[in-house]
Amino acid sequence: MPMRLLLIILVALPAWLFALHTTAISATAAAIEKDTLSPGQTLTGDGKLVSSNGKFALGFFHISIISNSTPDNHNNTDLKLWHLGIWFNKVPKLTPVWVASRENPIQSPISPELKFSGDGANLAVVNLATNSTVWSTQITTQTNTTTTILVLLSNGNLILRNSDDNILWQSFDHPTDTLLPGATIALNKITGETRRLVSRRSNADQSPGVYSMEIGRDGVVRMLWNSTVPYWSSGEWINGGYFSSVPEMTAHHRFNFTFVNNDRESSFAYQVLDESSTMYSFVDVSGQRRVLSWHEGRQDWVNVFTHPNDQCEVHAVCGPFAVCNDNTLLSCSCMKGFVASSVGNNWDLDDPIGGCRRNTSLEDCGGGGGGDRNGSNGDLGDRFYAMTRVVALPFDTRKIGDAASAAECEKVCLGLCSCTAYSFGTGGCSVWHGELLNVKQLLSDGASGSGKTLYIRLAATEFQARRNNRPAVSIVGLIAACSATLSFLAVIIVVLIVRAKRNKRKLHFHNANNINNIGGGLIPFKYRELQRATRNFSEKIGAGGFGVVFKGMLNESTAIAVKRLYGSYHEEKQFRAEVSSVGIIHHNNLVKMIGFCCEGEKRFLVYEYMSNGSLDAHLFRNDASTLNWKTRYQIALGIARGLAYLHESCRDHIIHCDIKPQNILLDGSFVPKIADFGMAKLIGRDCSRVVTTARGTIGYLAPEWFSGMAITPKIDVYSYGMVLFEIISGWRNTDKEHSCDNDDDDVAYFPVQIARKLLEGNVMRFLDHRLNGDAIFEEVERACKVACWCIQDKEFDRPMMSKVVQILEGLVDVDMPPMPRLIEAITQR
């Protein structure tokens, strides 16, 4: 063979071998990663079906466990818990969306096998170690089975169908904890058959948990504990295409919804409009319904929205004898006298059902004695520990009508073997038997009158143990305090050094077009980026005491509002206030801050754009279209939810200090969002009130602003009451010339008018005349009562915003409010 030809062969041979190897790999992959399975074929090991779009995969996944694990045993068996499931094929984190046999995972060192019977009648999962069937489709009626085929569809639905395209079985009819786009939760009203979601037991355990989501005969979606106790509701279906308690559904550019409620069925499904995105809805092990989206930049799932928003609203989320605090993140702890249970107590791993158990068993039963409520004497017997600042008393209370005092209430509880706690207040005596669930406590003392006291039954030895340990506790506390102080000083020094170095460097700014690739944090914009986005600040859409607002576009579809601050002292003060408050919080009823600009003397804040402007433009301008009553009521409820979040759920409580219609913005679906946090005040959780200079707007200022008293979140409650009057009436609260009754010669300040109309039962005369009486009387009356309670002279007489939300939602009744004396006195001058 000529040398030249030999060299050509030697050079070409590696490339030819590589091409052959690549072809073989592709062929193998194609053989494994197909989307169909025919009768007689099997699936095992690493084999999987992959949908035609590559998005979903069906196969076996496992969790490894070690058996016979002892120091002297070197023959440990690596067992695995196998599941047949469907997951996202292109997502590097294993995320199952359907599991065939949740209750019975196969414990085996080798993979099970998915068998498709030769006659095409059924699918079956077989444990090869025992040759036993652990799951099957259990199809009993079958025709023309030889033409049956198993297909994994592009939407993640696994189906058995025949040659006539009739679906004989599908995974969408047997959901686990996940609702994929295109799947439905449903109720057959004729047969009673329900299709619902059930959470996993824990992140490591696929078996069914205690939380579920289903749709009822009334078309309302509910979340339940143990299929019996509802703790969240979607509200009724609104003709605009969303559930009344899920305003996030108004983001029509992301989803399309299908809702059916007739004599035959109730059902709900959704579609994601952007097919390139990976998104799904599921019931989390913590009892919340979450919608997650895969973020390529982070390589992780990011939260789109959650229900209920407050983790502590989930029934029994911390388990028995545990306390959930008012943090936005789940924070469970055991009550005094209790310790985390040995089983199922790992809250960090989202396994909440274990809760806590007693340190010491109760010492007597039915004795009736046992010392005073604080456990101060040395008598034997059970006693009561006083837990203060309780904002949610335990589930399943029982009222004791003949206990007229706290002492009598305590005696009743001690006389019952099963009684574990009691509380006495304006509602009389309440006792609880057995496990205590759903106790929610503030982390620090709240405003005057906030919270109740729950007396927990403990063995007397618990109090004796605490007295004996007090000196040691004091020493430990002193050491801890000194260590904390030194650590705090060290942190301050480090922060000062870092800031000094940063001032010497030029800030690095992200391009505005990367907004969708940045999750959670604020974007530092360059001035020229904002100049370009606003077309050199040409479209002014608003102005206030601290600056001017311009409309801009980050790209063809993302509108923004750019707020330019002016005035050196106020500019810097407001800039810091807004970034430190609204910049770190997220809620559907709070305007979202996207980023900021801080170059030289220039200060800009960048927000999401609200297409329907501010609330005042719709209430007080004659040329504006009139908001109907349903929209007004939902706006009032949304504002209340936003304020409740600021006051009670943020890591640091936030007082807005300037609630008024001009600072309530409305998006395209009239969902209200609280804006303009330039006057906001942050209050640490170890503080309930703060001294500050007077701020706000005339007509919305609470009396304590003028008395020099320290303020609390109740100043926002007062302002909210005034705004609620305006929402109902369509008048500015500073306008004394209007009268709600044209036949009255006595023209009074309208908060006084409404108080009088409430007593007369004639609140509809107070309703905005442009509505022509088209409103629900019960809602108008409820809103008027709430407004009057919110503007009470004394702050402790005003309700917390979370209570306002419950009243407006119709969950809590509201009494007739008294006339605010200060307002009446002012109007009579």
Comparing CA positions, the residue from 773, 699, 730, 760 lying closest to residue 625 is: 730
Tokens of 225: 């504990």
Domain at 615-827, CATH class: mainly alpha
Please list the residue range(s) of the chain that carry CATH number 1.10.510.10. Answer: 615-827
pLDDT at 25: 27
Tokens of 166: 């009739």
Q: What's the whole-number average pLDDT of the chain? A: 77
* Per-residue pLDDT reduced to its tens digit, 299-319: 888 877 788 877 888 999 888
User: With left for phi above 0 and alpha for psi between -120 and 50, is residue 89 left, alpha or beta?
Assistant: alpha
User: How far apart are the C-alpha atoms of 159 and 823, rounded to whole Å?
Assistant: 68
User: How far apart are the C-alpha atoms of 388 and 385, rounded to whole Å?
Assistant: 10
What dihedral angle (degrees, nearest 10) is formed by the CA atoms of 429, 353, 323, 367?
40
pLDDT at 69: 38
User: How far apart are the C-alpha atoms of 78 and 70, rounded to whole Å?
Assistant: 13
What dihedral angle (degrees, nearest 10) is formed by the CA atoms of 224, 227, 228, 232?
10
Contact 259, 236 (CB under 8 A): no
> What mean pLDDT do residues 756-775 have?
81
Q: Is the model's pLDDT at 820 over the cut of 80?
A: no
Task: Determine whether the annotation assigns residue 563 to a binding site.
Answer: yes
pLDDT at 484: 52
Contact 726, 754 (CB under 8 A): no
Give me Rg for the CA atoms of the chain: 32
Please list the residue range(s) of the chain that carry CATH number 3.30.200.20. Answer: 522-608
Contact 35, 50 (CB under 8 A): yes
Domain at 522-608, CATH class: alpha beta
**Residue 774 CB contacts under 8 Å (≥ 6 apart), including other chains:** 628, 629
Tokens of 794: 């004394």
Q: Is the model's pLDDT at 515 over the cut of 70?
A: no
Q: Which of 310-324, 545-559, 632-646 has the highest mean pLDDT?
A: 632-646
CA 345 to chain centre: 22
Comparing CA positions, the residue from 55, 109, 56, 58 lying closest to residue 82 is: 109
Question: Dihedrals φ, ψ of 477, to 5°?
Answer: -65, -40
* Per-residue pLDDT reduced to its tens digit, 340-362: 886 545 565 455 567 899 988 88
* Per-residue pLDDT reduced to its tens digit, 132-162: 898 998 887 655 555 789 999 999 999 998 8
Residue 658 among the catalytic residues? yes
62-66, 96-100, 273-277: range with lowest mean pLDDT:
62-66
User: How far apart are the C-alpha atoms of 773 and 629, rounded to whole Å?
Assistant: 9
User: How far apart are the C-alpha atoms of 552 and 660, rounded to whole Å?
Assistant: 25
Query: Measured between alpha carbons, how far is residue 271 from residues 180, 406, 709 in Å?
Result: 8, 56, 53
Contact 539, 550 (CB under 8 A): yes
Q: What is the per-residue burial (b if ≥16 Cβ within 10 Å, else e) of 685-711?
A: beebbeeeeeebbeebbbbbbeeeeeb
Indicate whether this model's pTM tops 0.85.
Answer: no
Domain 27-174, CATH number (from 1.10.10.10, 2.90.10.10, 3.40.50.10300, 3.20.20.140): 2.90.10.10
pLDDT at 593: 84
What dihedral angle (degrees, nearest 10) is formed by the CA atoms of 12, 15, 18, 19?
-100
Please list the residue range(s) of the chain that carry CATH number 2.90.10.10. Answer: 27-174
* Per-residue pLDDT reduced to its tens digit, 10-44: 334 333 333 333 323 222 233 346 889 988 889 98
Q: Which of 35, 284, 658, 676 is catalytic?
A: 658
Dmax of the chain from CA atoms? 121
Q: Which residues pair with 681 in a beta bridge?
A: 655
Contact 333, 325 (CB under 8 A): yes
* Per-residue pLDDT reduced to its tens digit, 230-252: 999 998 998 778 888 887 776 55
Comparing CA positions, the residue from 434, 410, 237 lying closest to residue 316 is: 434
